[in-house]
Amino acid sequence: MSDTTAPASERHGASDELRAHASDVLGFARDIRRDLHRWPELGNDLPVTRDRVLQSLEGLGLDVTLHSTTSGIAALLTGAKPGPTVMLRGDMDALEMPEDTGLDYASRVDGAMHACGHDTHVAMLAGAARMLSERRADLPGRVLFMFQPGEEGHGGAKLMLDEGLLDLPPLADGTPSPVTAAYALHITSAMPRGFVGSRGGPVMASSDELRIVVTGKGGHASEPFRAIDPIPVACEIVQALQTAVTRRFDIFDPTVVTVAKLTAGTAHNVIPETATIEGTIRAISAHTRSAVHDTIRRVAEGVASAHGTSVTVEVDLGYPVTVNDGPSADFALDVASAVVDPRAVVRLPHPVMGAEDFSYVLEQRPGAMLFLGGTEPGRDPRTAAPNHSNRVVFDEEAMVDGMAMYSALAMRTLGTRLG
């Protein structure tokens, strides 16, 4: 995609002008971000968020499509010259949790918070749309801005794809202009502001939900011999699963099985009939994902049978493994080295075990997800509140990096220099 023998500044053109442009747009993006942060919404139905995004896109000359199955928005920018289409994604939904940051613009919605930075993603994408619309005359192709709801477990990306997100009309002269590359940024408090990180291949894990119900025989707690107690059986299954994970799976193709909830009983003197185990399963390859499902069933059924209980195992498939296209990830990191300090561009040594529904997009188009540093300089990211914390705070200056990155990825994919 680029000549990697020359310095990034020569390959991509000087980026000072692009960063200056992003700095000029920061106030615009900050207003969007803070509005969304005050009024977070959950899931796929985000009417307030959608209206605010549409307001931010007014006057930019974009062809806007409102999705009907979700609050998704597809906004298409057509350059002055023919060419392919590059897609940029920003997710819009918040998390179901309280906020305890003490920010002036903290959430005003009980039990909802933008704790994963999706408000910054939307603001950065809207800012990039503004920046790129002002550079329309230099763009040989199109940019599709994907404002996506429902990333936090609701599969909004898949719903938008199923509704025809990638089924774009041809150019005015009838020339096809398909989406040839797709990119997403995700802000993280695990890296300082100014850093960008990614890798080729698996970059985030799959995510599946686990539910095991152990059925025994209820009775009086003083006479366990007249009952079949499911609680110790459930405990043994939990322990056996941890052993199976550490002894049956390659540490270089890892899986994580975490039991987060064990429910049983109604009173201190009653042996219940059932005990329920719930948790999450993560993997970074389709092979291991399938194998761990089989292992969980075998372990649960074996332990339950040994104790005279029965068991049901349910695995609800969630997001698949997020797999970056290798050349696209290399290209994106190369672009990053022209946008931020090259010393702050990190090739991640291993995947992140969180999950993302941008995985559905990357199953259909080459592209990459990149992580954007969001912790203010001088603060140790190792001790900063992490994403999904009720106390996480992102440095809004990082949105300059994000808007410049979104714009640079689009421009360079379409063959436009950054200067």
Low-confidence ranges of the chain (pLDDT < 50): 1-2
**Nearest Cα residue to 26 out of 371, 394, 402:** 402
What are the distances in angstroms from CA 50 to CA 33, 161, 345?
Answer: 13, 18, 33
Q: CATH number of the domain at 206-316, please?
A: 3.30.70.360
pLDDT tens per residue, range 163-193: 999 999 999 889 999 999 999 999 999 999 9
**Nearest Cα residue to 345 out of 5, 89, 92, 7:** 7
CB 273 within 8 A of CB 217: yes
Q: Can you tell me the distance from the alpha carbon of 90 to that of 68, in angstroms, rounded to the nearest whole number?
A: 18
Q: What is the pLDDT of residue 170?
A: 93
What are the distances in angstroms from CA 235 to CA 273, 281, 313?
Answer: 15, 18, 15
Q: What is the pLDDT of residue 1?
A: 47
Q: What is the pLDDT of residue 418?
A: 80
Residue spans per domain, the chain: 8-204+321-413, 206-316
* Superfamily of domain covering 8-204+321-413: Zn peptidases (3.40.630.10)
Burial of 306: CB neighbours in 10 Å, binned 0-12, 13-18, 19+: exposed
Q: What is the pLDDT of residue 6?
A: 65
Q: What is the pLDDT of residue 16?
A: 87
Q: What is the pLDDT of residue 2?
A: 46
Q: Can you tell me the distance from the alpha carbon of 352 to that of 131, in angstroms, rounded to the nearest whole number?
A: 31
